[in-house]
Amino acid sequence: MTIAERIYQQSRDLPEAQAQSVLDFIEFLREKLRRNKVRQQEAADMSEFDQFGTVYDGTFDRDACYDRPVLR
The letter for the amino acid at 3 is: I
Q: What is the pLDDT of residue 60?
A: 80
The letter for the amino acid at 50 is: D
Q: Residue 2, class by beta-carbon neighbours within 10 Å (0-12 exposed, 13-18 middle, 19+ buried)? A: exposed
pLDDT means over runs of 10, the chain (72 residues): 93 94 96 93 78 71 76 66
pTM score of the predicted model: 0.56
Q: What is the pLDDT of residue 42?
A: 84
Q: Report domain extents, the chain.
A: 16-49
Q: Residue 19, class by beta-carbon neighbours within 10 Å (0-12 exposed, 13-18 middle, 19+ buried)? A: middle
